[in-house]
Structure 1
Amino acid sequence: MARPKKEQKEKTIDSVCEAALDKFKKMNKRKGTHGEIIEKLEFCIGSYRYDKNPQGLVEFGHKASEILKGEKARHDKSVAQGLIDDLDSAISAHTNA
């Protein structure tokens, strides 16, 4: 018997940036790097939840995506491609809106 497909939730820019933030925090524990992007994402996520203005999340979400792509290029298994794709999709949804 086939399993029913899970409904795919549309991923919001704040939830995707929060997933990226979690990834940076894990990488930071191991390497002690990425402190600046962690601070920026934390601030922008809180700000977005307060005023619903995605400008900061779009800007730093894009920077986070670039950093994650660089990490993936150096260590292929260190970053899930799905996280990068979700981040890029959420950013493009807000830049094209």
Structure 2
Amino acid sequence: MSPKGSPVCLLGHGNYCNERCSSTEVYSFLRKAMRNVSADNPFRGPKEFVEGDYIYRDSNKGELGKFVGKETISFANEVVYSLHYSGGFIK
């Protein structure tokens, strides 16, 4: 938000959770991964976050002004969740 309360950045996304995906468990794990975002990669979560059999991975390109990326969550070496996202500054 700008000092005047207007949005300055937009993030759009679309996700997929397969039939083996427990949305409760996956989204609980995703929230943990999101808490580990770094200043040098501020788009979604960290490049990688592991807890038990769950692995979160994020790859992206661009800058805050214009970016695209994909995040995945694997459970027991199978991708159970994926999300494509894009965003940037609003002009």
- Shorter chain as normaliser: what TM range? under 0.3
More helix by share: 1
TM-score by length of 1: 0.26
